[in-house]
Every structure is written in structure tokens, then in C-alpha cells.
Amino acid sequence: MSTPRVFIVRHGETEWSLSGRHTSTTDIPLTANGERRVLATGRALVGHDRLIVPSKLAHVYVSPRRRAQRTLELLNLAFHSSLPWTPHGTTTTEPGEGLPCPAAIEVTEDIREWDYGDYEGITSREICALRESQGLGSDWNIWRDGCVGGESPADVAERLDRLIKEIREKWHAPVMNKEKVDGEEPVRGDVLIVAHGHILRAFAQRWTGQSFDSGPSFLMEAGGVGTLSYEHHNINEPAILLGGAFVVDIPEDDTKA
């Protein structure tokens, strides 16, 4: 039985992501180019023989922000149940291209963007200048310092650890502990998360049990996709999957060769 995975997807491009302005609670839409790029990502990476296989998704977690929800709408997935929000655009995927997906969608505050507090809407350079004027020094590092008026690293770690615990207990452990039975429908265990740049990078750190300021620096472009899983099919060995292959069905005769 395959090892379940978590796919993390950052929302598509916005005007503020283009200009480097920190966006947490401000609810702004994707740009037209951002929508086109997410559509292209869905066509390239979502499919029965692609990285994200719709029939294998057990659950989808989405940020409450419209930019994340719109990104999910454009990812080439046609959910069996209706979206838990009013659609944010006139179309979802290209007509006729949405692939059936049985997973339920859950909007959760646990995966909302890091609350930037006083730093909402300004760039890293402006944040450093502001902190220097306040006597806090100019070498701001969100992973160490957090955000004045917003969330600290400990605040963010607490809610992400809660979500990771739920994913492992509710969606992954049952799959990894189940014996494969011939003729039985495969158990769905993959999870999809659609959210934001800083919170998804933080999620990857906490997935592997790392503190924010001790692990490697991760980058995640607008509309980017990452994969998390486990080594040795062992839930106690969480890992970051640096390169994931597409899924290919192997004819039964070939497996006996």
C-alpha cells in the first residue's frame, strides 16, 4: 500500500505578492495572471497519472481567505460535494476538465496565513526600517521574532501542530495500519492543503519536528506545490518529499514478469 502524502499548495499570484507586501488578514483576489498560472498547474499536476491523483485524496484543508479558496477552485478538481463558500469567480476549471474528487473540503483557521499584525501590507525592507525606528534592531527574522501586534512563532507552531496531529490520526494512520486486501477498493489517504507562503513553509518545518529557526530555509512561489510524506511507510518518520514521480498504472501481467 502506498504511503500517504500531504500536498501543500500556495495560492496564486496577487498584487501584493508581486510587490512583496505581507498579506495575512487582508482579503485580496488573485491577479488574472495568477488565475491562468493556477489553471496551468492543475492541468500539469492533477490527474489520474499525475502527482496529485484526485481519487486518492481523502480530505482538503483550505484557508479562510478568498485567494486560497479561488486557487482550489482552479486546480482541475470537480468535488462531489458543493464548495463551502460562494465561488469567487465565474468559472472554476476549464469547461469539462474538472476531475471527479470524493474528498470533503474543510475551511480551517489553523492554516490561515501567519498574522503579520503591525506589518500587514508592508514589505520586509519597510518592516526592518520600522523596527529600527522602534529600537528593535533592523535584522528582522519572522521565524525568530514573529510579528509585533500579530503572531509569535510559538503561536503559529501551536496551531500547526494541532493540524498535523489531526492529519496523522484521522487520515494517515488508518491507511498505514490497514492491510491490503485483494479486490478491495484502495483506501484514500492523501491530503491537500491550499493556503499561504509563510504558513506552508512553517507547516513543512513542523511536519518534520523542526523549530522554525533551526531548519533549512524553504521557498514557495505563488501557485507552487510541495509534497510531504514519511520514510519507510512509518508514521513516526515524517519527511519532506523533494521529488515526487507521477503515478502510472502497471498492467497486472507486467508485475509478474
Task: List Cβ neighbours of 161 (8 Å cut-off, separation of 6 or more).
Answer: 206
The answer to whether the CB of 12 falls within 8 A of the CB of 30 is: yes
Distance CA 11, CA 30 (A): 8
Please list the helix, strand and coil fractions of the chain in percent, rounded to the nearest 5, in that order.
35, 15, 50
The answer to whether the CB of 237 falls within 8 A of the CB of 231 is: yes
Distance CA 236, CA 86 (A): 39
Catalytic site residue from 113, 120, 151, 198: 113
Q: How far is CA 68 from CA 16, 247, 248, in A?
A: 14, 26, 29
Query: Tell me, what DSSP letter sits at residue 241?
Result: -
Q: Is 15 a catalytic residue?
A: no
Catalytic site residue from 11, 22, 172, 196: 11
Q: Is 11 a catalytic residue?
A: yes
Distance CA 151, CA 76 (A): 34
Question: Which residue's entry shows cell 502510472?
Answer: 248
Among 68, 30, 20, which Cα is nearest to 192's?
68
Distance CA 147, CA 151 (A): 6
Among 141, 253, 246, 245, which Cα is nearest to 201's?
141
The answer to whether the CB of 203 falls within 8 A of the CB of 215 is: no
User: What amino acid positions are annotated as catalytic residues?
Assistant: 11, 113
